Structure formats: structure tokens, C-alpha cells
Structure 1
Amino acid sequence: MKKLAIVVSHPIQYYSPWFNYLSNTAGLAVKVFYLWDFGVTKRIDSGFQQEIQWDIPLLSGYDYEFVPNISSRPGTDHFWGLQNPSLSSQIKKFHPEAVLLMIYNYASIYRLLWSGSQDLPPLLFRGDSHRLLISHNIKALLKREFITQIYRRFAACLYVGKANYNYFRYHRVAEEKLFFSPHAVDNHRFLAQTDVVNQQAQAWKQELGIPADHAVILFAGKLEEKKRPLDLLQAFLSINIPQVSLLFVGAGPLEAELKTAAAGKSHIYFAPFQNQTFMPRTYAAADLFVLPSYGSGETWGLAINEAMCLSRPVIVSNHVGCSQDLVHNYENGLVFPAGDVSALAHSLKEALANRQRLQKWGENSRNIVANYTYAQATQGLIQALEYTKLRLM
């Protein structure tokens, strides 16, 4: 079995099931090296602004170890948050035939790339950055050159979608070194619960006070600036469509401002942060899921995958990384220009104008996301490994 080391910042609810899949179905001896223990112990999440510990198993089904982190302020929100001096030596003890990095812009990874990679096996990188918001100033050009030098240290790169592919090409990664390994969630966990969570969602909506005959527009996630929940609130207030409610699920720095702006308005509801086991029910409560993010920070938007698993139509801004891959206009949803509240309002009105069509869009969502799986992600990884093997021969 080919031994593959994987380096990740911390246990992530979207990645752990894939590592399990790799270890048990892909013919790989996988070992994951974690640089921080967020997610498996209670930690303050700066986005949600509260203590978070995921309630699904993140460390089962695959081999892993935590690399000691000596940072005075551990985390992924700043460059010095991951400082793991023993990373290179711990990887070498595993004797892998390849190393897959899922991150790079941290102190530990730069140290690995510049001082510890000479006697390591081929390095692979899987990222999801994009350039959907383009800048041509001198700072952007210098950044391009710097990142280009980083990517030259990788034998192959895995791209998760079209925008990410274009990002790698912009940084001069050769086409022959790029392999499609799409972003995916644990589709089975969502698909297997459809009937049960639909019943749970009806009861939950009743608890929240949402009228039974209302269509529900859902925003679920961190209530933070990059996700632009205030844009959605303003758009909803402007359309004034009868028998439609807006539900915000989550927490974050904009929560108070949102609630103040919604005070006294009809059919706007708030629910607190929902842990992973409650997310299928959360999506099932919606008739339409919206992600109006602005800027380069929404590199993919895995909530879209999850909502689509529950057969939900989606509206996203054109700055959401998955917009070119998962959202097909008038087939399973709509894409609108990021930051344009009037365009978002028009998209809401258009989507809700025909409820039968909206339901069909949801069915199409489920069919589309069926092609974004851990199996497909693994296929790209295997192709990359075979490519690096041939290059070494």
C-alpha cells in the first residue's frame, strides 16, 4: 500500500470523512498530521464568537497524530497560529511515499517548504483559493509572483473546481500538474436522513413560530461581514412577497446588528448555532438556501453542497467559489453579482415566482451534487500520485 502523509491545520468536519474513505477504500496507508486540536476540544471560534466542539466523530476510521504546536496563540486566523517545529521529523518517521498539504500560509508550512522538504518525498497540494475578485495593483502582482514560487515546490496540485483551477493557472502551475479533486461533503450522511429530517424540520419550524404555509429562505453559517447576511435581509425586506419567511441560523459579530435591523419586521426569524448533527434538519427547513458572500474569503461554500444533498435550490453570489460548478442558472438556482442587493432581491423574486419550478430546481440540485463525492475527490488524488510516481522513474 502506498503510504500517504496528509498535513491539515486541525480536524475539520468536511475532511475527516474523506480521510476515513481514503484509509478504507482507496488502497492507501494514510496518516494525518494535525497542527492544532480545534474541533475535538472546546475552543472559541472567532467567526461564531462562542465555544465550539463538533458533535460528530472527527478522528475515527484513519490513523492520525497531533504535532505539538508552540504558538502562544494557536489558531488558523493568523500566520503564527501554527508553529510546529517537529512537523518534518514526525512526517519522516512515517516514511511516506508522498505528502499532501491541505494548507500552506502558516509558519510551520513555510518552514517545511523551505528547510525541511529536501529529504521528503514528493509534495502535493490541495487548495481552494480563487480570483473571482480581481485586482491588478502592484501589491497583487507581487503576491502573484510570491505564490507562484510556492507552488513550484509541489510536484502536483489538486483543484476543487473551475475557479480554483483558474487560480492555479494564474500562478503558472502547469496544466499537466493539475488534477481535479472536487470539494465534497459526506453526502451519505445527508441523503440517508431525508425522510426523518423533513419531519423534524416541520416540527422545528413550528417551534420557531414560522407559519406552516410559508416558504422559507434560509441563511445558515457565521453571521460575519464576508458572508453578507445584511444584504440578504435588505433584499428580503424589499421584495415583500406574501407567505415567505426569512430564517437566519448561526451566530457571529453581525448578530446584534441583524436583529436590530429586523426588529419590528414581519416573518424574520433567528435560530442559534446548530451543531453538525442538526444541520440536515436545518437545510430541510428551507425552501431556498442563499449564500450572498462578497470577496475572496468564500473559497468554495461547502454549505451549498450540504443544502443540495437535501434537494434544496440555491442562490449564491458570483464571489462564492462553487458558483461556476454547482449552481446552474434556472436549473437548480441562480447566481447574482456579489454586493448587489437589488440583484439579490430580483433573484429571490424570480426563484419564488414559481413554487413548482423551485421544487424541480431542488431535485436538480441533488442530481448535480451526486457527482461531488469523496470517490471523485479520491480519483484525482490517485491520478496525482501516479503522475508523481512516473516523474520519479
Structure 2
Amino acid sequence: MTKRLAIICTHPIQYYAPVFQLLANQVQLKVFYTSGEPSSYKYDKGFDRTIEWDLPLLDAYDYVFLKNNAKSPGTHHFTGILNPDLINQVSNFGPNRILIYGWAWCSHLKAMRYFKGKVPIYFRGDSNLLNETNVIKTLLRKIFLKWIYKNVDKAFYVGTNNKAYYEAFGLVEEQLIFAPHAIDNYRFGTSEIDQAKKIRTNLNVGENDIVILFAGKLIPVKNPFLLLDAFIELDLANVHLLFVGNGELEESLKSRFESFKLQRSFDCAQDDELCKIHFMDFQNQTQMPAVYQACDLFCLPSQSETWGLSVNEAMACGKSILISDKVGCSIDLVDHQNGSIFKSDDKEDLKQKIIVLTLDKTKLKKMGENSLEKIKKWSFEVQSNVISEYVNR
């Protein structure tokens, strides 16, 4: 008999909905979205704009948007999600298993505690220990999180660093199941050659030039200034830097670039060949494959990153990767065959890695091919198959 799976998740997310769609063919599924009606979650603080994803996130599976009674609704704080009817609605569905995405909201934690011992609780999150520094805070956090994870029967970990996190807070090997973090490999890998060429042409990038891409929120934790300053100081011939995204640092990044232009005494409108730093606004999901395919090297210099699904996206587009050692996926997805890892916040190390990686475009392309081969195992299909296997046991 097909098992019934209840999923508790804050809101439709482009990296989760495709998994729900696949699971709906393997189990009897219902997703309970806790953030409230769609209009309540579409403003993205990191991008500093309202985001309307241009992919269908609610097709081909059963779901309900629960009423959120929080005084200040949002996923940015614990009391931002308060659903008085969550437990009743999940109970009425009669699940054999419950999969909860994240515990750091009042309703999610309440559900974990209520259903523990009544229905097997499965958990999904991507936290890691890469930024554990304060001994006292770490000890207090360990006590608290051990209490949290006592409510979990099994956790689907996304990668090596995430598994170590769960182990640190009391979960044992028998409770931990690998279900790889993933993106739509097929969609990102589908050729967008014409659009990619158009992007490079519009930026005045030559065929033999190398483009380093940063794509994401322009916020402090992503550390875009480190990349900008390293690039300016290197001043490499035939190498371009492209920032794609918006956020609180956007204006200051552009101001730094304007200062650089004044120092070098050139005007991009008149000296296109000298203008090797470029900015593009936020690009929606259907545009992003062409953006990745227009670059040669993807760089994520974050000071902290639970995983970094943009790395998956770039790899699915066949690109080489340069990321900091604070990016959660680094240990699983990046090695000398497809890129490099630099020490977080170390500008000199970043500069050295950029120099080495941009020496030979042919080698860079080979690294990209290695990325494409490696990421094939990190797919929605593998993730959904693992989850359905344990749900149907």
C-alpha cells in the first residue's frame, strides 16, 4: 500500500518543488506551506526586491497554504511562523511519515514535538559546523540542538559537512540517510549557446577572453567585495568579472568600481576594451542557464554558506569552480579536477587561485567538463528516490 507523506515547508522554493513533484508519483503526498498566502513571502530581503519565480512551483502535487497568525510574518525569525491549524490539518491527512524542512520556526518545532512518537519524523536541512568559533556559544548551542534533534527519527543529509553537523548534535549513523542537495541538472545543462553568446557580445567580451562570474545576493556574507578587490588588484589581461544580482552592497560595489575607473582615467562608454568589470540585475530562473554558460569560471567567495546551490547550477552548465572553504558544498563538489578552494577572507590566496585558473582557457574548459560529469550524481531524481524509499518502508 502506498504510504502517505506529509511535508511541512515554509513556502514554495525552486529547489524543493521539483522534488515534491517527483515524490507525488511515488507516495501519497501533501505539502503544508506555513508562511501564509503567496503574497506574504515573495519579498526577498537579500535581493531587496519582490521575487516572482518564472517557473511553476505548485504543479503536479497536493498542497495547502496554512494561515499564518504571526504578528510579524516571515522566515527570518522564530515567531514569524505561527499556524494554529497546522497540527489539526496534518492529523486529518493521516500521514505515515512526516518530513519537516527546518526547525527554526515556532510551528515547525511544535509539530516536531507533537508528532514525535506518534508518526515517524523525518528532517531535512543543510546546516554545517564550518563557522563554529565561540566555545561558550558552541557548548550552549550543542545542548539546545541535541534537545531539538531528539525529536527526529531520521535526517536526510545533503552532503558531508551537513552529516557532521547532525552527528555533532546526537544523531547516529542509523538515523542519517544521504539525499544529495540538487538542482535541475537537465534544465541548466540544456544548451543556451545563442543567449550566452549574446551576453558576452553585449559585455564586449572576446571569444578568447575569460569571464569570472559571481551570481547571487550582493550581501556581506557572500563577500563580493573580496572578489572585486582581488580582481582589481590583479588587473589580468583578457579576464572579465561579471556580478549578477542585487542587494544591499550593490551601490557600494558600483561606487568602488567607479573609483577604480577614475584612478585609471577611462570611461566605459569610450574605452570598452578597458571595461572588464560588469554588473547585471537579478536574473530569473529561466535566464540563469545562459548567464552561467556565458562565463568560464564561477566564483563564490562566501564567508558562510550552508551549501551553495549556485555551485550545482554552474557545474550543471559545465563550468569550473572557485569557492571559499566556508562554502558547505566545497568538500563534496570541488577539487583540483574541476576548480579550486581558497581560504575564506584571504585575498592573497584568492588572487593566487585566480591567477592559476585563468592561465589556460583550454584547461579551464576541461575542468568544466569534469564539473558536468561530477554533478550528474547530485540530482532531483536521486534525492526523491532516496526519500520515497524510506517513506515506503
Q: State the Cα deviation string for residues 45-80 of structure 1 (Å, max 9, x = none).
A: 110011111110000011111111111222111111
Q: Offset at 1:235?
A: 1.1
CA contact (8 A) 1:179 1:384 kept: no
Which residue number corresponds to residue 49 of structure 2?
50
1:305 aligns with 2:312: yes
In the alignment, structure 1 segments of 5+ residues that lack a partner are none
Which residue number corresponds to residue 17 of structure 2?
16
Letter matched to residue 135 of structure 2 = N
Q: State the Cα deviation string for residues 319-344 of structure 1 (Å, max 9, x = none).
A: 1010011111x200101111111111
Moved over 6 A (4+): 38-42
Q: CA distance change for structure 1 residues 317 and 99 in 2, over 3 Å: closer, same or farther?
A: same
Q: Name the SS for the 1:58 alignment partner.
A: coil
Q: CA distance change for structure 1 residues 38 and 350 in 2, over 3 Å: closer, same or farther?
A: farther
Which residue number corresponds to residue 268 of structure 2?
none
Which residue number corresponds to residue 142 of structure 2?
144
CA contact (8 A) 2:40 2:73 kept: no
Q: Name the SS for the 1:321 alignment partner.
A: coil
Which residue number corresponds to residue 327 of structure 1?
334
Letter matched to residue 363 of structure 2 = R
Which residue number corresponds to residue 258 of structure 1?
253
Q: CA distance change for structure 1 residues 226 and 147 in 2, over 3 Å: closer, same or farther?
A: same
CA contact (8 A) 1:67 1:84 kept: yes
Q: Name the SS for the 1:11 alignment partner.
A: coil
Q: Offset at 1:179?
A: 0.4
Q: CA distance change for structure 1 residues 84 and 37 in 2, over 3 Å: closer, same or farther?
A: closer
The CA distance in 2 between the partners of 1:299 and 1:67, in whole Å, is: 27
Q: Name the SS for the 1:222 alignment partner.
A: coil
The CA distance in 2 between the partners of 1:256 and 1:160, in whole Å, is: 34
1:294 corresponds to which of 283, 298, 303: 303
The CA distance in 2 between the partners of 1:200 and 1:42, in whole Å, is: 31
1:179 corresponds to which of 174, 177, 180: 177
Q: Offset at 1:117?
A: 1.9
Name the count of aligned residue pairs.
Answer: 378
Q: TM-score, normalised by structure 2?
A: 0.92
1:170 aligns with 2:176: no
Which residue number corresponds to residue 200 of structure 2?
205
The CA distance in 2 between the partners of 1:277 and 1:153, in whole Å, is: 39
Aligned 1:75-114 pairs, distance under 5 A: 75-114=74-113
CA contact (8 A) 1:156 1:384 kept: no
CA contact (8 A) 1:235 1:341 kept: yes
Which residue number corresponds to residue 358 of structure 1?
364
1:374 aligns with 2:380: yes
What RMSD, in angstroms, separates the aligned Cα atoms of the two structures? Answer: 1.6
The CA distance in 1 between the partners of 2:199 and 2:72, in whole Å, is: 38
1:67 aligns with 2:66: yes
Q: Offset at 1:136?
A: 4.7
Q: Name the SS for the 1:251 alignment partner.
A: coil
The CA distance in 2 between the partners of 1:342 and 1:90, in whole Å, is: 55
1:276 aligns with 2:285: yes
Aligned 1:230-249 pairs, distance under 5 A: 230-249=225-244
Q: Name the SS for the 1:356 alignment partner.
A: helix
Q: Offset at 1:4?
A: 0.5
Which residue number corresponds to residue 316 of structure 1?
323
Q: Offset at 1:376?
A: 1.8
Aligned 1:117-156 pairs, distance under 5 A: 117=115, 120-156=118-154
The CA distance in 1 between the partners of 2:65 and 2:161, in whole Å, is: 32
1:344 aligns with 2:353: no
Q: State the Cα deviation string for residues 93-150 of structure 1 (Å, max 9, x = none).
A: 1111000001101111122233x32574111101110001222521210111110111
CA contact (8 A) 1:215 1:244 kept: yes
Letter matched to residue 171 of structure 2 = V
The CA distance in 1 between the partners of 2:134 and 2:243, in whole Å, is: 36
CA contact (8 A) 1:97 1:122 kept: yes
CA contact (8 A) 1:39 1:53 kept: no
Q: Offset at 1:379?
A: 3.6
The CA distance in 1 between the partners of 2:66 and 2:174, in whole Å, is: 33
Q: Name the SS for the 1:77 alignment partner.
A: coil
Q: TM-score, normalised by structure 1?
A: 0.92
The CA distance in 1 between the partners of 2:52 and 2:74, in whole Å, is: 14
CA contact (8 A) 1:40 1:53 kept: no
Which residue number corresponds to residue 4 of structure 2?
3
Say which is worse superposed, 303-312 or 265-274, in terms of deviation. 265-274
Q: CA distance change for structure 1 residues 22 and 61 in 2, over 3 Å: closer, same or farther?
A: same
The CA distance in 1 between the partners of 2:183 and 2:247, in whole Å, is: 23
CA contact (8 A) 1:42 1:53 kept: no
Q: State the Cα deviation string for residues 143-179 of structure 1 (Å, max 9, x = none).
A: 1111011111111111000000110111121111100
The CA distance in 2 between the partners of 1:38 and 1:221, in whole Å, is: 26
Letter matched to residue 261 of structure 1 = R
Letter matched to residue 160 of structure 1 = V
Letter matched to residue 229 of structure 1 = P
